[in-house]
Every structure is written in C-alpha cells, then in structure tokens.
Amino acid sequence: MSSLADRIAVVTGASRGIGAATAQLLGARGARVVALARSLTPRRTERRWDLACDLTDEANLTETAAAVLDQWGAPDIVVSNAGAFLLRPFEATSLEDLESQIAVNLRAPFALARAFLPAMREDGGVLIHVGSIADHVGFPENAAYAASKFALRGLHETLVAEYRGTGVRVSLVSPGPTDTSMWDPVDPDTREGFVARVDMLRPEDVAEAIAFVATLPPHVHIDWLRLGPA
C-alpha cells in the first residue's frame, strides 16, 4: 500500500458527511488535506487548508484551484465528493431541479477535473469520483439525481480511457445508502422501501473505501468500487 505521508489530497464536500469523514481519515493517515465546501470557515495550518468554495460557481472554483496549485502544488489525490440529492416524483421534478442536480453532481466534478488533471499528469495521482448506487440503478422519484449520477459515471469512464497510461488513475466509488444529513429531508425511517438509517453505511465506511482506492500502489487501478449495507 502506498503511503499517504505528505501526499496532498483535495476533498470536496468536506464540511460534513462522507467528505468530512474522508478529509479527516486522509489527514489522520498523514496526508496534507485541502477541504472544500461552501460552508467551511477558511483556515489554514501546515497540514490542513479549509476553503469556502461554491463548486457550481465556475470563477470561484477556478480561482480556488489556482490558489491550491500555486501554494501547495499539484494534488496527489482528488476526491470529487460534493453532491446534492433530490427525491421527488418525476412529474413534480422541474427542469430547474434537473439543472441544479446537474450543476453540483456533474458540472462541478467536470470543472474540478479540468482544473486539476493537467497539473497531476506530471507526477501522477488519483482522481476519485463519488458516485452512488443511483449511478447504475434506477429508483422511483430519483430521476434528476440518477440522471446526474449516471452522467458522472459516463464522465468517469471517459476519463479512465483518456488518462490510461499517463500515471493518473481515475476511480469511481459508488456507495449505497449512507447515514448523512443528505437523508434528513427524506426521513427514510418512516418510509416503506427505504433502508433504515441505523442499517445504512456510516460516512467513515465510505471514507475507508476511498482511502483504500487512494493508497494502492501506482501500478494498481481500481476502476469502480461499489459498496453498500450488508
């Protein structure tokens, strides 16, 4: 397993949930972590740099990535995790709903990859997209989210093909239901057909899977890792 000591890891959506757990775990294992999310209070130490960034705002994302590249150099690991979840019957789902899901779940990862991959070519690295079980399975009331996550998988597969042999490995980690605040508006415990929160994955479980993918030796490529509650 390759060491995380002094590796630079950028984690998006690191203010809570899976991203916060991933930033914490990678940092605890020795990485220097850049954490991005809208609600983070900017702060910086030698080992951890929190930046407030709206990834759907192209200028904000571009400026933030440029600052990271300028001051900490090319990341070794990018975890493109920030996302939003909409559960709404199809006929009640507007085009604006679709656009806002695509903005954060597809357009932002696309822009993030454009911002970091060119610099990562030189020393190699790992770009991990956080997909979802909904990137390959259709569930009722999930059209806009699934459309954005299936499309993210399309982006992922294209990048795998395009970056093969460059030293940059691109991986997709697709979790099933995970107990984060993403579920608060849904209240799955009271709804038939949903996994109860107590039975869901924990954010730390997904963080472990991400850390596993990120720390394999450079000659090993995990294309797609799917995990869910047992």
Ligand X SMILES: NC(=O)c1ccc[n+]([C@@H]2O[C@H](COP(=O)([O-])OP(=O)(O)OC[C@H]3O[C@@H](n4cnc5c(N)ncnc54)[C@H](OP(=O)(O)O)[C@@H]3O)[C@@H](O)[C@H]2O)c1
In angstroms, what is the minimal distance from the CB of 66 to ligand X?
17
Distances (CA, A) of 142 to 45, 150, 221: 40, 12, 30
Q: Does 197 bind ligand X (CB under 6 A)?
A: no
- Report yes or no: 56 and 38 within 8 Å, Cβ to Cβ: no
Cβ at position 122, least distance to ligand X in Å: 27
- Shortest Å distance, C-beta 131 to ligand X: 7
Residues 49, 85, 116, 145: which is the catalytic one? 145
Closer CB to ligand X, 124 or 228, in the complex: 228
188 binds ligand X (CB under 6 A): no
207 binds ligand X (CB under 6 A): no
The crossing angle, in degrees rounded to 10, of helices 143-163 and 108-120 is: 20
Please choose, out of 2-10, 50-58, 91-99, 115-123, the segment that lies near ligand X by the rule CB under 6 A: 50-58
Residue 212 or 218: which CB sits closer to ligand X? 212
Closest CB to ligand X among residues 150, 166: 150
Query: Is 142 one of the binding residues for ligand X (CB under 6 A)?
Result: no
Taking the complex as a whole, the smallest distance from the CB of residue 29 to ligand X amounts, in Å, to: 19
Rule CB under 6 A: say whether 48 interacts with ligand X: no
C-alpha separations of 221 from 50, 114, 170, 205 in Å: 29, 21, 8, 20
Quote the least distance from Cβ 185 to ligand X, whole Å: 10
Residue 205 is a binding residue for ligand X (CB under 6 A) = no
Is 145 annotated as catalytic?
Answer: yes
Residue 18 or 126: the one with the smaller Cβ distance to ligand X is 18
Q: Does 39 bind ligand X (CB under 6 A)?
A: yes
C-beta closer to ligand X: residue 182 or 216: 182
Among 175, 205, 207, 211, binds ligand X (CB under 6 A): 175
Q: Each residue of 60-98: b (16+ CB within 10 Å) or e?
A: bbeebbeebbeeeebbbbbbbbbbbbbbeeeeebeeeeb
Q: Does 163 bind ligand X (CB under 6 A)?
A: no
Quick check: 37 binds ligand X (CB under 6 A)? yes
Amino acid at 141: E
Q: Which residues belong to the active site?
A: 145
